[in-house]
């Protein structure tokens, strides 16, 4: 009998509360706003931001870039030395910037709205939040960033020192070859004759 009385009391209390909500629009809107905020808080807490992983180890990235630059210089030296009359060739390339890595990002947009009503006015508030983090892919040793593209460094200038650069035609051939390979303008390239001084021997 006591359980039945308690159930009746709960039903009466709930009925009284819902009746009060129907009669008071401000209270009804406040309850709905609290429910929306509670659901949004639960939703946001389940998608808390994970720790951000570094896009790449800076030291290893610099080592890779340096190795790539040296390989380009060596290949260019090898090709230029094969030009008729060039002889022995040495090349130095300077760059404006390093290699730029462009990672993929995943973004998450969330929005919520609140409506405030009074007896004479009605207003609504909409708020949006966006979070971005680097996209990663799983590999054997953990998550690695997903790289969209790697932008190669911009060449600032090139110096070519060649044994046969005293001949104007060889000099022009060397300059044209560098322009073609690196895609730089002629004003970024200087070609010099290699010194015949061999250290006093």
Domains of the chain: 57-99+152-201 (3.30.300.30)
Q: Name 38's Cβ contacts closer than 8 Å, sequence gap at least 6.
A: none
Q: How many CB atoms lie within 10 A of CB 164?
A: 20
What gap in Å lies between CA 156 and CA 189, rounded to an integer? 9
Specify whether the CB–CB gap between 173 and 165 falls below 8 A. no
> Of 81, 68, 94, which Cα lies nearest the Cα of 177?
81
pLDDT for 37: 81
pLDDT of residue 198: 59
> What are phi and psi for residue 163, nearest 5 degrees?
-60, -35
Say what the pLDDT of residue 200 is. Answer: 46
* pLDDT reported for residue 79: 93
Q: Which of 178, 152, 56 is nearest to 95 (CA)?
A: 152
Residue 172 belongs to what H/E stretch? helix 168-182
Q: pLDDT (tens digit, 0 to 9) for every residue of the chain, 201 residues total?
A: 566 656 666 667 767 777 776 777 777 777 777 888 888 777 777 665 555 545 455 456 677 778 888 898 999 999 999 999 999 999 999 888 777 777 777 777 777 777 777 777 777 777 787 777 777 777 777 777 777 777 778 889 999 999 999 999 999 999 999 999 999 999 999 999 998 765 544
Which 3 state secondary structure label does DSSP give 100?
strand
The DSSP call for residue 190 is: E
Burial label for 98, CB within 10 Å (0-12, 13-18, 19+), is middle
Q: Do residues 93 and 178 touch, judged by C-beta distance below 8 A?
A: no
pLDDT of residue 76: 92
In eight-state DSSP terms, residue 187 is G
In angstroms, what CA-CA distances link 200 with 89, 129, 164, 196, 197? 21, 73, 21, 11, 7
Give the predicted TM-score (pTM) of the model: 0.49
Do residues 114 and 122 make contact, with C-beta atoms less than 8 angstroms apart? no
């Amino acid at each position: 009998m006591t359980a039945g009385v308690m159930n009746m009391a709960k039903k009466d209390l709930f009925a009284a509360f819902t009746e009060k909500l129907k009669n008071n629009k401000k209270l009804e809107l406040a309850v709905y706003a609290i429910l929306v905020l509670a659901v949004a808080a639960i939703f946001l807490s389940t998608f808390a931001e994970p720790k951000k992983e570094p896009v790449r180890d800076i030291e290893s990235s610099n080592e890779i870039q340096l190795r790539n630059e040296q390989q380009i210089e060596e290949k260019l030296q090898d090709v230029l030395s094969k030009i008729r009359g060039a002889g022995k060739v040495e090349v130095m390339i300077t760059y404006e910037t390093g290699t730029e890595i462009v990672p993929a990002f995943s973004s998450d947009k969330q929005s919520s709205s609140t409506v405030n009503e009074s007896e004479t006015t009605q207003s609504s508030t909409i708020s949006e939040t966006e979070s971005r983090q680097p996209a990663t892919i799983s590999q054997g040793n953990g998550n690695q960033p997903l790289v969209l593209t790697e932008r190669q460094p911009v060449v600032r200038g090139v110096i070519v020192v060649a044994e046969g650069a005293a001949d104007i035609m060889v000099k022009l051939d060397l300059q044209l070859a560098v322009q073609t390979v690196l895609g730089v303008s002629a004003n970024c390239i200087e070609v010099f004759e290699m010194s015949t001084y061999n250290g006093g021997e």
